A and B are shown apart, each in its own frame.
Chain A
């Protein structure tokens, strides 16, 4: 076995783990920031109308009878 073969053997026998392909790894910072910004906007779009249209609390008082306005 030549020295080159021994070097090949060494690197071929080393266990490689923990490497995942980039679809699963962290995304580039600019994309991550954009994604976060979009999430915030979507969240805001869903929550704000509910706040604006919030119904008044039920105070338990009955409306005055006969009143039309």
Chain B
């Protein structure tokens, strides 16, 4: 129940913030930062699987939000709108970084407040995510972490809702095998 209320709150706050930004009030950006920073980061990772580039994607996304806020339609999904921008920025970055080796040093990118078991689990999840193909990794991240609906994911990836559902189920099953 609490989680559902949090989600409603998040959607409403982000919607209001985007409307304000569209009116030129850039001081509403911290609201987007508060609710969506980690989700933008996750989308960036699901596309690039390179931690060193994800911070840049988050920052570029904020700049793009300010530039494009006028095209946001209030009352629609603010989160899907923001994450679509983040994904497009990450895809652009991927094109330019195609031949460079990704930064795979997870230890350096783990928050200091977590213990060894947490880090071990994260390493396993990272390996499992990296074993998925690009589209499956994005679908799993968008559904499991950001909580977007299958229809929103389908629109973002240009596939049918049914295809998004099937791919998600298949990818989760594959991850289950890998995480045993």
Q: Does any Cβ of B come within 8 Å of A68's Cβ?
A: no
CA gap between A45 and B173 in the complex, in Å: 69
Cβ contact within 8 Å between A22 and B125: no
User: In the complex, how many residue pairs between chain A and chain B have their CB atoms under 8 Å apart?
Assistant: 90
The count of residues in chain B whose C-beta lies closer than 8 Å to any C-beta of chain A is 41
The verdict on B160 contacting chain A, using a C-beta distance below 8 Å, is no
Does A22 lie within 8 Å of B172, measured CB to CB? no
State the majority secondary structure of interface residues on B: helix
Contact of A15 among B30, B109, B118 (CB under 8 A): B109
- Bound together, the chains give a CA A4 to CA B140 distance in angstroms of 8
Contacts of A3 in B (CB 8 A): 144, 172, 175-176, 179
Minimal Cβ-Cβ distance residue in B for A23: B26
Interface presence of B119 (CB below 8 A): yes
**Judging by beta carbons under 8 Å apart, are B63 and A15 in contact?**
no
A3-B175, A14-B45, A16-B41 are contacts. A21–B55 as well, Cβ < 8 Å? no
Verify A13–B114 contact, CB threshold 8 A. Answer: yes
User: Is B141 a contact partner of A7 (Cβ separation < 8 A)?
Assistant: yes
Among B37, B110, B111, B125, point to the contact of A19 (Cβ < 8 A). B37
Let me know if B156 is at the binding interface, CB within 8 A.
Answer: no
Q: Is B89 an interface residue (CB 8 A)?
A: no
Central interface residue in B27, B62, B140, by most chain A CB within 10 Å: B62
